[in-house]
Chains A and B, each alone.
Chain A
Amino acid sequence: MSNAETRGAGDTEAHEGRVTSGIPRLDFILQGGLKQGGTYALMGPPGSGKTILANQFCFNHIARDDGRCVYMTLLIESHGKMLRHLEQLSFFRMESVPEKVYYISGYQKVRDEGFAGLLELIRATLRERRATIFVIDGMESAEQFASSRQAYGEFIHSLQALMSLLGCTTLLLSNVRERTHVEHTLVDGVLELSDQLIGPRAVRELTVHKFRGSNYLRGRHEVEISSAGIVVHPRTEVQFAHPVSSGQEMRHRMAFGLPRLDEMLGGGLPSGSTTALLGAPGTGKTLLGLSFLVEGARRGEKGMYFGFYEPPPRLIEKAEAVGLPLGRYVREGGITLVWQPPLEHFMDALAEQLLEPLRLEGSKGLRRLFVDGAEGFRAAAVYQERMPRFLSALTNQLRSLDVTTVMTDELELFQPQLNLPTAELANVVESVVLLRYVEMRSQIRRLLSIMKMRESRYDTSLREFRISQDGIDVADSFRSAESILSGMSRMRDDARDPDDTERGGASAARSKKARAAKKTTKKKDARPKPTRGSGGSRRGPRGSRGDGGGP
């Protein structure tokens, strides 16, 4: 296992005898970059980004290694048009053309003189230009002049020998070809860029099919083309396929700043753990998560909010409305707000945005993370079947960084059963905190309970969770008779309405009267009516006492 496997894509190092592409995370996939003097096929349909990737490789190479590049085209768009398009991209430097990046065409030579003439042209040009990177864009045009597959194979073989001799790293660009194409059997590596529609989404991906003499990250990796050029996002679960066996977590207790809740949690959440905060819309998940961050900042522990739905100003406003001084800690740098508007995202790109600042901050950096919510990752997933492995890799990585994470997941508004929208979350989190609505005397109230806390003692009682302008608070035990977790409840005969204390017992008489009137009511009336989306088995514990079982 290499160090790179445990550190992640942001920490790519140059390896001896390698030429780094400088393309974000591609070198990580290739475990250090392309081999110096190696010849690599880069295939993909028109529009998949081959030309951009090859040019980006060239311009990054001259900027990082002070190399020289020759870019040969064979019957593709003219150099003038190509450069006009490339000018829009930030890696492109027109002042490096033609001194450092030199564009030529080889089409006429191969047409008039065949492969022998083309090879002579390449040899003489590369020596004259002292090139360290060579690109041929449009290999399918060259192949058309081959008298046979064998003749084309011989050309590739000769080209490869020449490049090895010159120590010139070479990329051969062509449209999609079958995996067994003669070119692919001869070259040192085969990379494929694809561009396909998956449902309504257009998805670009990169796959390394072959890479001689080195390990590499197999499978498809998401690719984005932006004004910066090509950006590759290695699959998170492959990137962190070998998590460190012993994490850095110190197992300190990380409090929410709500005395009763912290007491229930035995002082707080264990550091380095991940907690799922479940609840229907409006139950207070975001406020509870923000309370976790604010309490951390108050203690000098840096935190990050990573959310999808509420822009920072609105979030600050929302927190301040219940007395959480979020704005102050954001201004002081104790809390960072990262907002991802709910548009089309890539799951691995989101994970990178989350993990890379944490890794850069190091051990003295961010200690608390609030992800609001897990459905943002789910919505970004092109392949839903990846979710369990993705979440497992993500939480493992957070654990190894000793970052204590609270991640919300939204339950349906009317849902008697506890069905997790992101079912995979249950397996990867250490703790589960549930927020639910409960009906009490024609009033909607909120209920908080700890459903699961791995390797830790916790209070299983049910508590009322209150949100007011005075702040958020977890009240005393909420005693109910039955079906409390189905969202339907009634007071036990020996219980007092918590509000009675506040109202000086004013409602006690009314309560007694109401209970007397209900004595004739049958139990079945208390059963919840079937609601939309209530399929599946009943998972939640029943009865008036939480038993600590997970959802």
Chain B
Amino acid sequence: MSTVLVVEDEFDVQQIVADVLRDEGHQVFVCGTGREALQHLSEFRPDVVLMDVMLPIFSGLQVLDVMRKTPGLDAIPVILMSETEPRHVQARWQFFLKKPFRLEHLLDAITRVMGPVSLT
């Protein structure tokens, strides 16, 4: 079982993504702002971060920037979610999901970044 931090401000997207990941057998933590995300990351290290770009207060890119500069957080894989693909920083995340995305795209991104989940 992997731990996933979902950082998403849109409540419905946050809940649906979290439910799908739980169905897949992952342990899921959620938060809605960039500031909360940094707080979570200072307390525990998830196996993967699924992060929106446009977040209240600090953007997903700002959080990613902090992660990449912080030993221990710099290696955590990040799946970015956004309506538009951020430019100039492609090398800093592992996968990009263009919103609005479908369920199979989300599952494909998780599988690619974390590998298939064993339910046994």
Contact = CB atoms under 8 A, between A and B. Distances in A.
Partners in one complex: yes
Interface string B7-39: 001111110000000000000000011010000
Given A97-B84, A109-B32, A121-B33, A78 B54 contact: no
Interface in A272-291: none
A81 B13 CA distance: 12
Given A78-B100, A121-B33, A128 B9 contact: no
B10 to A, nearest CB: 4
Nearest to B99: A80
Interface stretch (A99-107, A240-248, A371-379): A99-107
Interface string A80-109: 110110000000001101100011111111
A442 to B, nearest CB: 75
Nearest to A98: B54
Interface string B64-108: 000000000000000000111010000000000001110000000
Contacts of B100: 78, 80-81, 84
Contacts of B13: 78
Contacts, number: 68
Contacts of B11: 75, 105, 107-108, 111
B54 A104 contact: yes
Contact of A97 (B32, B55, B56, B83): B83
Interface residues of B, number: 23
B59 interface: yes
A124 interface: yes
Interface string B44-62: 0000000001111111000
Contact of A83 (B53, B83, B101): B83
A103 B33 contact: no
B56 A79 contact: no
A125 interface: yes
A291 B53 CA distance: 65
A165 B14 CA distance: 32
Nearest to A82: B83
B83 A80 contact: yes
Contacts of B9: 104-106, 108
Contacts of A81: 100
Contact of A103 (B32, B54, B58, B101): B54
A128 to B, nearest CB: 6
A124 B9 CA distance: 15
B117 to A, nearest CB: 26
B99 A78 contact: yes
Interface residues of A, number: 25
Which secondary structure dominates where chain B touches chain A? loop
Given A98-B82, A103-B83, A121-B33, A79 B14 contact: no
Name the residue among B9, B55, B58 with the largest chain A CB count within 10 angstroms.
Answer: B9
Contacts of B83: 79-80, 83-84, 94, 97, 103
Nearest to B62: A128
Name the residue among B11, B32, B35, B101 with the largest chain A CB count within 10 angstroms.
Answer: B11
Interface in A382-410: none
Contact of B59 (A80, A83, A95, A98): A98
A102 B83 CA distance: 11
Contact of A104 (B35, B55, B86): B55
A102 B82 CA distance: 11
Contacts of B35: 124
A108 B10 CA distance: 8
Which secondary structure dominates where chain A touches chain B? helix
B57 A121 contact: yes
Contacts of A111: 11
Nearest to B31: A108
A139 to B, nearest CB: 16
A59 to B, nearest CB: 14
B57 A105 contact: no
Contact of B58 (A73, A108, A128): A128
A103 B81 CA distance: 13
Nearest to B55: A104
Given A79-B10, A79-B83, A109 B56 contact: yes
Contact of A108 (B32, B84, B101): B32
Contacts of A128: 57-58
A118 to B, nearest CB: 10
Interface string A96-136: 01100011111111010000000001001100100000000
B32 A94 contact: no
A268 B63 CA distance: 77
Nearest to B86: A98
Contacts of B53: 98
Contact of B57 (A84, A94, A108, A124): A124
A455 B16 CA distance: 77
A78 B57 contact: no
B105 to A, nearest CB: 12
A80 B115 CA distance: 27
A396 to B, nearest CB: 49
Name the residue among A83, A94, A95, A98 with the largest chain B CB count within 10 angstroms.
Answer: A98
Contacts of A102: 54, 59
A94 B84 contact: yes
B15 to A, nearest CB: 9
A108 B54 contact: no
Nearest to A73: B10
B62 to A, nearest CB: 8
A78 B56 contact: no
Q: List the 3 shortest-distance A-B pairs measured between CB atoms, nearest first.
A: A80-B100, A80-B99, A105-B10
12 contacts: A73-B10, A78-B12, A78-B13, A79-B54, A80-B83, A84-B100, A103-B54, A105-B11, A108-B11, A121-B56, A124-B57, A125-B57
Given A78-B12, A83-B83, 9 more contacts: A79-B10, A98-B53, A98-B54, A98-B84, A104-B54, A105-B11, A105-B56, A107-B10, A121-B57
